[in-house]
Amino acid sequence: MNIPTSNVQSSAESGAKPRERKQRHVAEEIRGKIYVYFCVLLMIVTIFSIVYFIASRGLAPFVSQGVALKDMLLGLKWKPEGEPPLFGALPFLFGSFATSLFAAIIAAPLAFCASIYMTEIMPKFGKTVLQPAIELLAGIPSVVYGFVGLSVIVPFLRDTFPGQGVGVLAGALVLSIMILPTITTIATDSLRSLPNGLKEGSYALGATRWQTISRIILPTTLPSLLTGVVLGIARAFGEALAVQMVIGNAPHIPHSLFESATTLTSIITLEMGNTTSGSLHNNALWSLALILLMMTFLFVFVVRMLERRVKR
């Protein structure tokens, strides 16, 4: 192999014999591989230890401490220090699902509108003003959201609706603002990546802008839009602090949106500090964490399914 363009190669390299050069490449290759494999291994070990740790603690109540899984998933009473102790987690599950789904129902339409506005209607303004603003929302710490919820949303709800203001609706509202950036960003990306030809094809047939948006753009990007929604729900499901500040933390299933409730995450953060490691109460909280983890896996799985649909 003789390459005549000697000025392209560095003088050191052109002096080296082909075999040396090859050896050097092999060595580099191996070094890179070792580095990459090490990082991957570290990540896998970390993930597995976390899962193993949560699972071993979280399964203990069912395996060795005499709690029935059914009682935890369907029980209504949470009295871990009572006689006998009760571990009904249904109210928390309900609270977590209710607030996150409700948050998604509020946030998704807003996010879709915002991203359509940013991509189709005012791309310039969207890119220079709206998008940075929304990305900024994503960077605000959750305690700030909780605080705003507590000092703005809760008083507003208290004055407008029956009840104390704290409750499912307050939690859902706070969460909806928190997940707005997630859904908007993903929706905007998917709208931007839509091939231009599709839109032009629609316009060329005499479609108006709204017809094109509703009949081509939204249906085509729907799987990606739903991916954003699921990731938003996942984020809302795992959020602890902000919700905990506005939901009222009452361990029962609420009868209305304005009643206090609680979520898996808030109960874990509230009670974890008061229990001793290895106790039944402590392990039961790990069971809740395990449920959270399972839900996260489920969300990831759903996202994967949606992504597969996008590719087709």
Partner 1 sequence: MIIEIEKLQLYYGEFQALKNVDLSIPERSVTAFIGPSGCGKSTLLRTLNRMNDSIPGVRIEGTVSIQGRDIYASDTEVEFLRKRVGMVFQQPNPFPKSIYDNVAYGPRLHGRTKKAELDELVEKSLRSASLWEEVKDVLKKSAWSLSGGQQQRLCIARALAVEPDILLMDESTSALDPISTTKIEELTRELCKQYTIVMVTHNMHQAARISDRTVFFLNGEVVEAADTQTLFSSPVDQRTEDYISGRFG
Q: Name the site residues for partner 1 (rule: CB under 8 A).
A: 195, 197-198, 200-208, 211, 215-216, 219-220
- Strand 86-87 to strand 78-79: parallel, antiparallel, or no bridges (unpaired)? antiparallel
In three-state secondary structure terms, 261 is strand
- Least distance to partner 1 from the beta carbon of 185, Å? 23
- Least distance to partner 1 from the beta carbon of 113, Å? 21
What DSSP state is assigned to residue 223? H
- Least distance to partner 1 from the beta carbon of 195, Å? 7
- Least distance to partner 1 from the beta carbon of 202, Å? 7
Comparing CB distances to partner 1, the nearer of 220 and 249 is 220
Q: Are 166 and 154 spatial neighbours (Cβ–Cβ below 8 Å)?
A: yes
Comparing CB distances to partner 1, the nearer of 13 and 200 is 200
Comparing CB distances to partner 1, the nearer of 15 and 195 is 195
- Least distance to partner 1 from the beta carbon of 117, Å? 16
Comparing CB distances to partner 1, the nearer of 128 and 208 is 208
Q: Which long-range contacts (CB under 8 A, 24 or more apart) does 53-59 make?
A: 54/286, 54/289, 54/290, 54/293, 55/290, 57/282, 57/283, 57/286, 57/287, 57/289, 57/290, 58/283, 58/286, 58/287, 58/288, 58/289, 58/290, 58/291, 59/287, 59/290
Q: Are 157 and 165 spatial neighbours (Cβ–Cβ below 8 Å)?
A: yes
- Least distance to partner 1 from the beta carbon of 203, Å? 7
- Least distance to partner 1 from the beta carbon of 296, Å? 31
Cα–Cα distance, 77 to 293 (Å, whole number): 22
Instruction: Tell me which H or E stretch contains 87.
Output: strand 86-87
Comparing CB distances to partner 1, the nearer of 98 and 306 is 306
- Least distance to partner 1 from the beta carbon of 204, Å? 4
176: Cβ–Cβ under 8 A, 6 or more apart, which residues?
Answer: 102, 103, 104, 106, 107, 110
- Least distance to partner 1 from the beta carbon of 227, Å? 16
Comparing CB distances to partner 1, the nearer of 123 and 162 is 123
Q: Diameter of the chain by CA atoms?
A: 88
Cα–Cα distance, 91 to 263 (Å, whole number): 8
Comparing CB distances to partner 1, the nearer of 48 and 125 is 125
Q: Which long-range contacts (CB under 8 A, 24 or more apart) does 126-135 make?
A: 131/188, 134/180, 134/181, 134/184, 134/185, 135/181, 135/185
Q: Are 180 and 107 spatial neighbours (Cβ–Cβ below 8 Å)?
A: yes
Comparing CB distances to partner 1, the nearer of 123 and 278 is 123
Comparing CB distances to partner 1, the nearer of 139 and 197 is 197
